[in-house]
Amino acid sequence: MSHSQLSEPHAQALAQAQYVQAEAQPQARAAHARFQAQLLANVNTQLVLQKQNLIGEINIKCSAAMELTTAARRQKQGSPEKQVLEKVAAFLTESALYTQLLEF
Instruction: Summarize pLDDT for 12-46 with one digit per residue, the tens.
Output: 888 888 888 888 788 888 888 999 999 999 888 98
pTM score, whole prediction: 0.39
- Could you give the CA distance from residue 70 to residue 67 in angstroms, rounded to a whole number? 5
Q: Which pLDDT value is given to residue 76?
A: 62
What gap in Å lies between CA 57 and CA 50, rounded to an integer?
Answer: 10
Q: What pLDDT, on the 0 to 100 scale, is given for residue 66?
A: 81
Pick from 20, 1, 21, 22: nearest CA to 11:
1
% of the chain beyond a pLDDT of 90:
4
Of 51 and 84, the structure prediction assigns the larger pLDDT to 51
Tell me what the mean pLDDT of segment 68-77 comes to. 69
